Each structure stands twice: as C-alpha cells, then as structure tokens.
Amino acid sequence: MNKIVFLSAFLFSLSALTYSQDADNHQNEPKDGKSVKLVSFNICVNPFSDERIWSNRKKLISSMVRTCDWDIIGTQEGSVEMMNDLCVLSGGYQWLGRAAYEGDNAVCMAVMYKSSRFDVLESGDFWYSETPDIPGSMAWDAPYIAKCTWVKFRDKSRKKVFYFFNSHYSASTKVSAAYARSRSSLLMMDKIKEIAGNDSKVFAAGDYNSVPGSAAINNILARGFLKDSRTLSEQLPSGPDNTFNGWQTPNNAKYDWIFVSAGIRVLSYNVLNNRPNGQFPSDHDPVVIDVEF
C-alpha cells in the first residue's frame, strides 16, 4: 500500500473533470428513475501522514460520488469521521453501520445512500464468527475482525423494496484466513436467507478479500441464490478485471464484488480505475453497477 498520492487545488479540479468525462463515457447514461447505481468501495483506512492522508483523499472520493451520481455505496474501512466527511462533501447522503470494534478509530462497513431517494425500512449488523450477533466477535483463527452491515431499502418513487448487504472479510494470506473467509461466505448466505428470505431482491457487495475460484467465492455461488453481477452485465464490462491496486498500476487482484439475486437486470458493470494526474483515491477501485428490477 505504498504509492504516493499528490493532491493540490489545481490537480483536484482537473481530477473532477476527468471523473466527469469517465462518468459520461461509462456510467452516466440518462436515468429514467428506474435504474439504481450501486457501488462497492474500500476507501482505505487513514494511517497515513503523507499525501495519502484522508484530508486529501476525501476530496477526490467525494468528487467521484457527486460526478458519477451513485445511489448506494457499500464502503469498507471508513471510520465514523471519514463517513461523516464523505456525506457532508458529497451532499444529499446519509450512512448506516456500526463500528466493527471499539475504539476511536474503529472502522465501519458503512452503507452510504441518497436520503432523498430511499427510505430505510430496517437495518442491522452481524459479525463473521460463530457468535455473529456479538459485536467484535471473531472465529476460525481469523487474524482480523470481519463484519457485515445490511439495509432494507424502499425506493420512494417506485415503492420497490430490496436488501443491500455490505461485507468486509478478513484479509491475510494465512491458511487460517482463507478458511475463515470460506466460513464467512457460508454464514453470509445463511444470514441473507434469515433476514431477507428466499424471494426478495438482494445485493451483496463488499471487499471479500477473495479471488475468483477461491472457496469463499465458490461458497457464495454454489447456493445458486446470488450471481456475480459482472457475468450478467448487458453492456460489455469496463475497467480492469482486478479491483485491488495497492497504490500502484496495474491492479493485481480481484477482491471486490457485487452479487445479485434473481430478477435483477444488470445494465452495466464498471471498475472505475481513473488515475487523474496519477492520483489514487484508495488502494481499491470502486465496483459500480447500474441495475433495474
């Protein structure tokens, strides 16, 4: 995670223009009120004291949110302060999600959404462990806490109801972490059935820290309830296959996914990997889908 990001007022204005052009080219087709733009975006924790510090990156990310006109964003690694910053700078958004653990800098798996368009009917959190309702719980020798925030939304104008699950699995190359991720997928599918039932429209987004063909991803797809949105896109998917950049080019792993249930049209799928003036908003690139249901 060691690529320096330089951000000045001049470059920021150019970056906003570049994102605007990308939105026009790839995402911002005329909206008729039916489609919904959903995003999974690991915005990266803020341990930095160099040019990657949050006070710089928050401007770039909020510019992306505004320009690309995203409706719902599943974020990972954002603290309470970071999420509040994004909502203020982006304008018109609120967020939900408990911190994964106690502490001043605890991160959330926050769901950010347009409050003018969506009502929140229900929401909740669970942890990827054998005691998922206990905050901060861990299991399966996972090296880090893993968690999900879920929200039951209603589109105010169309009255359509759907569920959005936002997850962050434990990250590590250890064998125990891979096993923990595979068990997390089984738990996620059980919790989706418990919370949303078998007939609801469901989106499951997140940084799963898992590549195609891994046990964690296979355990999600094997149930048959969710499918990889990339494979369903009616337009040719744009952007790189991989979503993790590690502050460098090219991207080197696909960790970030959005899965969808039956009856959902995926109009487009995009991994937004612009590097305006060499700037990286995060060590992950956002996955963006435009859907109708």
| Residue 11 clears pLDDT 80, i.e. is over it | no
The C-alpha atoms of residue 214 and residue 211 are separated, in whole angstroms, by 6
**CATH number, domain containing residue 114:** 3.60.10.10
Mean pLDDT of the chain: 89
| Residue 124 clears pLDDT 90, i.e. is over it | yes
* 30 falls within a domain: no
Q: Write the CB contacts of 107 (distance below 8 Å, at least 6 apart in sequence).
A: 45, 76, 77, 78, 79, 99, 100
* 229 falls within a domain: yes
* 228 falls within a domain: yes
Q: What pLDDT is stored for residue 9 in this prediction?
A: 38
Q: Regarding predicted confidence, which is higher, 49 or 285?
A: 285
Average pLDDT over every residue of 191-208: 98
Q: Write the CB contacts of 241 (distance below 8 Å, at least 6 apart in sequence).
A: 251, 254, 271
Parent domain of 179? 9-22+37-292
| Residue 261 clears pLDDT 60, i.e. is over it | yes
| Residue 42 clears pLDDT 50, i.e. is over it | yes
Residues 79-102 pLDDT 10s: 999 999 999 999 999 999 998 988
Q: How confident is the model at residue 14 (pLDDT cuts 50, 70, 90)?
A: very low
Average pLDDT over every residue of 259-266: 98
pTM of the full structure:
0.89
The C-alpha atoms of residue 164 and residue 187 are separated, in whole angstroms, by 16
Distances (CA, A) of 103 to 83, 201, 246: 16, 35, 26
* 4 falls within a domain: no
* 218 falls within a domain: yes
Q: How confident is the model at residue 175 (pLDDT cuts 50, 70, 90)?
A: confident
Q: How confident is the model at residue 32 (pLDDT cuts 50, 70, 90)?
A: low
* 32 falls within a domain: no
* 27 falls within a domain: no
Task: Tally the domains of the chain.
Answer: 1
Q: How confident is the model at residue 19 (pLDDT cuts 50, 70, 90)?
A: low
Q: What pLDDT is stored for residue 31 in this prediction?
A: 54
| Residue 178 clears pLDDT 80, i.e. is over it | yes
Average pLDDT over every residue of 139-162: 96
